[in-house]
Amino acid sequence: MRDRGIRETRVSVGNGLFVTFEGGEGAGKSTQIRLLADALRERGRTVLTTREPGGSPGAEAVRHVLLSGAAQEFGVRMEAILFAAARSDHVEEIIRPALLKGAVVICDRFMDSSRVYQGVTGNLELPFIEALERVAVNGVIPDCTIIFDLPASLGLERVRRRASAAEAPAGQEVELDRFEKEELETHEKRREAFLDIAAADPKRCHVVDASAAASDIAAAVLAIVEPLLPRSGGGGPDTEAAQ
């Protein structure tokens, strides 16, 4: 499905840099966020790493409702509004204040996940998604979005392997979250939708091959972000948002 072209109104937020990581399941975003944060801290930058849904106490409370599947029976519209409510709290409580202090904010998923998961594969109409996005981000648009691209089958295999290694007691079924349980075809559609977003907004979005070696991906990500860094190192303590 083609990206349906959401219009963005960006406001300037302090001297910070807002970077988001997007992509399907099992793409290795968390590892790469850690590696990028370490590399930027080594360069003297103040870095805040955070995630969605969640990242602020209010949004973390909503996260459980969304990922457990508790909201699923009330429909995709309800889920989309809850993602937006969580995002609004996260933006105003955590992201905007950090950017105003000059930090580099790295967020695991943001508005593009809602465009793809609720908009494209949830079949919600564009004006609805657009309205929620406008209210939730309130002008705080990422300066840079890295899209981790991976065949869906490979991503899901990684998720299952990770879950079985980390969580499932011997002999028991692996517990996947509400979104991980969906069909392979849905995951492939999401991959295409992320690529469409990147094609429609090449200034903000950069696609990286998530099947490459972790060290190569880390180098590619740093090469994208480093030229965008503001001149000064930013103030305030180095921090990680509530998770």
Among 49, 56, 88, 113, binds ligand TYD (CB under 6 A): 113
Shortest Å distance, C-beta 232 to ligand TYD: 30
Strands 205-209 and 144-149: parallel
Number of residues that bind ligand TYD (CB under 6 A): 15
Which region, judged by CB under 6 A, interacts with ligand TYD, from 7-15, 111-119, 131-139, 204-212? 111-119
Q: Are 108 and 29 in contact (CB under 8 A)?
A: yes
Among 13, 179, 189, 198, binds ligand TYD (CB under 6 A): 179
Type of residue at 186: T
Q: How far is CA 94 from the centre of its chain?
A: 15
CA-based torsion, 40, 42, 47, 51: positive or negative: positive
Beta-strand runs (E) in 92-158: 104-108, 144-149
Among 53, 55, 58, 119, binds ligand TYD (CB under 6 A): 53
Q: Establish if 18 lies at the interface with ligand TYD (CB under 6 A).
A: no
Give the number of other CB atoms < 10 A from CB of residue 28: 21
Q: Establish if 148 lies at the interface with ligand TYD (CB under 6 A).
A: no
Interface with ligand TYD (CB under 6 A): 25, 29, 51-53, 67, 83, 108-109, 113-114, 117-118, 177, 179
